[in-house]
């Protein structure tokens, strides 16, 4: 089988505060896609990291009386801890303070200069003296500094600019006429808001603070944090550095960058323009999702409405948290985070639908057959719908995941969970068990249920990687029964399968 390379990335997060459920959404989504591709046999490189430079970080460190490096080391650790808690299977973690990354950014900047896409000019704007920060007029709040609220003055400084305006036509074409942006519905918004009004050249250096990567030929200037940050997708593959030899050739262009809508503009306009200027291939896909809202607003540290992942994982289990944040999110829309919805969905889908469905099946195999099914079979027409639904599930899930619609993949899987539970009601195994003539029929019903749970749990593995192997032990599935190739093959479990009662997979959570 030919192995495809698959390179997927999350944004690199600002270590300006500990990660919350909003950050987790993108990372868990990418983790599911990465695991799914590994399951299909692809050669996956899953990248995440932290974006550690900039004035904000410099200021935060100062407030705490520590160096910016000590500050980012601490918060970056807290990101790594949360990713390990959530079972994130990233292959590489890039930090913009890593020496190899710095090397790439400086080389990229120099290359853009050499190719004539960067020139020196004057940046004019409003300046907040106490914060030592330039602000574009449109970022001011009531004409004052958005950070400290004090008055700003007119000021200008020497800076370098990237000729972004040259790329307007190619960017419009990329957004409107190719599959780069997903969902496509966001393309018009970008074209109308940013490209049509006239793309301006982009100021790509700052000189009012020092926590950043110096311009190699003019080190009093610091490379703009977004040029620094976007370059992570190249540096982490060893482009223009000698850290990861061969990876750039193997994995670039990226198969998918996942981001939320707040940073779509940087990835849909600035990033492709930079790559065009560098004459590098463009990423195949940019997946843009909405926000997780809390009380009607974006969940974010600055709003102060964040939900931390740890207490939720303690209460529900890690897999349930992974399930919940993906189940609720429709790619085009924002989604509300609500503890009530989480509780109701957990109990309905996981505790009752899946967990109870599996444990009931296992209990019946134990009760009626001592734990091992006999080989005799007797089919009935009522079986056909369940067998058809379970056999068709893999291709539906594949389509949904390929379209980055993870909530739809879960909806498809849980419609088969419902079908299995309905099948129990329709076939009433407890009635069959009373009639000795019906042993073969009873075994067939229970086998069909075990097969359905095998397919369902195999497809759920990327979403719930801890619980599904525990489920397999209970239904008697071997590792070879749950490989991707077997997940659309009905009749994979050995006919005389033995089950094993185990701990409750998803214990009910009561409303406190």
Calpha distance 120→220 (Å, rounded): 13
Cβ at position 330, least distance to ligand MSP in Å? 13
Nearer to ligand MSP, 6 or 13 (CB): 13
Tokens of 251: 């994995």
Least distance to ligand MSP from the beta carbon of 108, Å?
13
Q: How far apart are CA 259 and CA 263, in angstroms?
A: 7
Q: Which is closer to ligand MSP, CB of 229 or CB of 365?
A: 229
Q: How far is the CB of 127 from ligand MSP (least distance, A)?
A: 24
Is residue 204 within 8 A of residue 73, CB to CB? The reply is no
Structure tokens at 209: 């603070």
**Tokens in use for 24?**
């987790």
Q: Which residues have a Cβ under 8 Å from the Cβ of 385 and sit 6 or more positions away? A: 419
Comparing every residue's Cβ against ligand MSP, the nearest one is: 22
Q: Which is nearer to ligand MSP, 298 or 360 (CB)?
A: 298
Pick the closer one to ligand MSP by CB: 75 or 318. 75
Least Å distance, CB 408 to ligand MSP, is: 18
The token pair that represents 148 in the structure block: 């400290």
At 460 the three-state DSSP class reads helix
Residue 279 CB, nearest approach to ligand MSP (Å) = 20
Residue number with CB closer to ligand MSP (325 or 413): 325
Nearest distance from residue 72's CB to ligand MSP, in Å? 12
309 or 476, CB closer to ligand MSP? 309
CA-to-CA distance for 346 and 509, rounded, in angstroms? 8
Phi and psi at residue 103, in whole multiples of 5°?
-60, -45
The contacts found for 22-26 with CB under 8 angstroms, 24 or more apart, are 22/260, 22/291, 22/292, 22/298, 22/299, 22/300, 22/306, 23/79, 23/82, 24/82, 24/86, 24/309, 24/321, 24/325, 25/260, 25/289, 25/292, 25/325, 25/326, 25/329, 26/258, 26/259, 26/260, 26/289
Is the CB of 191 or the CB of 307 nearer to ligand MSP? 307
Closer CB to ligand MSP, 134 or 291, in the complex: 291
Instruction: State in angstroms the smallest separation of the CB of 211 from ligand MSP.
Output: 14
Give which of 452, 451, 457 is closest to 470, Cα–Cα.
457
Cα 203 vs. chain centroid, distance in angstroms?
A: 30
Buried b (16+ CB within 10 A) or exposed e, 334-344: bbebeeeebbe
Binding site for ligand MSP (CB under 6 A): 11-14, 22-23, 25-26, 51, 229-230, 232, 259-260, 262-263, 291-292, 298-300
Q: Closest approach of Cβ 281 to ligand MSP, in Å?
A: 18
């Amino acid at each position: 089988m030919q192995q495809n390379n698959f390179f997927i990335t999350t944004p690199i997060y600002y270590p300006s505060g500990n990660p919350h459920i909003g950050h987790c959404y993108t990372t868990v989504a990418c983790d599911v896609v990465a695991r799914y591709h590994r399951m299909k046999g692809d050669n996956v490189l899953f990248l995440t990291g932290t974006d550690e430079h900039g004035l904000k970080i410099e200021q935060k460190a100062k407030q705490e009386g520590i160096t910016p490096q000590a500050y980012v080391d601490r918060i970056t650790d807290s990101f790594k801890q949360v990713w390990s808690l959530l079972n994130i299977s990233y292959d590489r973690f890039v930090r913009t303070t890593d020496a190899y990354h710095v090397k790439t950014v400086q080389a990229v900047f120099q290359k853009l200069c050499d190719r004539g896409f960067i020139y020196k000019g004057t940046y004019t704007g409003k300046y907040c003296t106490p914060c030592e920060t330039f602000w574009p007029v449109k970022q001011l709040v009531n004409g004052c500094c958005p950070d400290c609220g004090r008055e700003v003055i007119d000021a200008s400084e020497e800076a370098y600019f990237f000729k972004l305006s040259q790329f307007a036509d190619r960017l419009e074409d990329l957004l409107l006429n190719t599959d780069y942006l997903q969902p496509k519905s966001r393309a018009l918004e970008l074209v109308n808001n940013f490209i049509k009004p006239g793309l301006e050249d982009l100021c790509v250096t700052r000189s009012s603070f020092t926590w950043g990567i110096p311009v190699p030929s003019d080190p009093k200037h610091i490379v703009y944090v977004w040029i620094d940050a976007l370059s992570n997708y190249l540096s982490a593959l060893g482009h223009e550095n000698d850290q990861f030899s061969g990876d750039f050739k193997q994995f670039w262009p990226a198969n998918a960058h996942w981001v939320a809508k707040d940073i779509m503009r940087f990835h849909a306009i600035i990033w492709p323009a930079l790559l065009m200027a560098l004459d590098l291939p463009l990423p195949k896909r940019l997946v843009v999702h909405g926000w997780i809202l809390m009380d009607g607003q974006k969940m974010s540290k600055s709003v102060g409405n964040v939900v931390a992942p740890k207490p939720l994982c303690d209460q529900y289990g890690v897999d349930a948290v992974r399930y919940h944040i993906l189940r609720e999110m429709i790619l085009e829309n924002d989604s509300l985070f609500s503890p009530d919805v989480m509780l109701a969905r957990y109990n309905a889908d996981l505790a009752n639908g899946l967990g109870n469905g599996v444990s009931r099946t296992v209990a019946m195999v134990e009760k009626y057959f001592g734990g091992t099914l006999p080989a005799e079979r007797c089919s009935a027409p009522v079986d056909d719908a369940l067998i058809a639904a379970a056999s068709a599930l893999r291709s539906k899930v594949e389509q949904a995941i390929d379209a980055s619609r993870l909530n739809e993949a879960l909806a498809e899987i849980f419609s088969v969970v419902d079908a299995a539970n309905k099948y129990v009601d329709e076939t009433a195994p407890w009635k069959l068990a009373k009639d000795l003539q019906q042993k073969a029929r009873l075994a067939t019903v229970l086998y069909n249920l075990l097969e359905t749970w095998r397919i369902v749990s195999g497809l759920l593995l990327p979403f719930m990687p801890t619980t599904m192997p525990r489920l397999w032990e209970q239904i008697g599935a071997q590792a070879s029964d749950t490989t991707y190739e077997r997940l659309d093959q009905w009749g994979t479990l050995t006919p005389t399968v033995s089950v094993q009662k185990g701990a409750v997979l998803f214990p009910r959570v009561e409303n406190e």
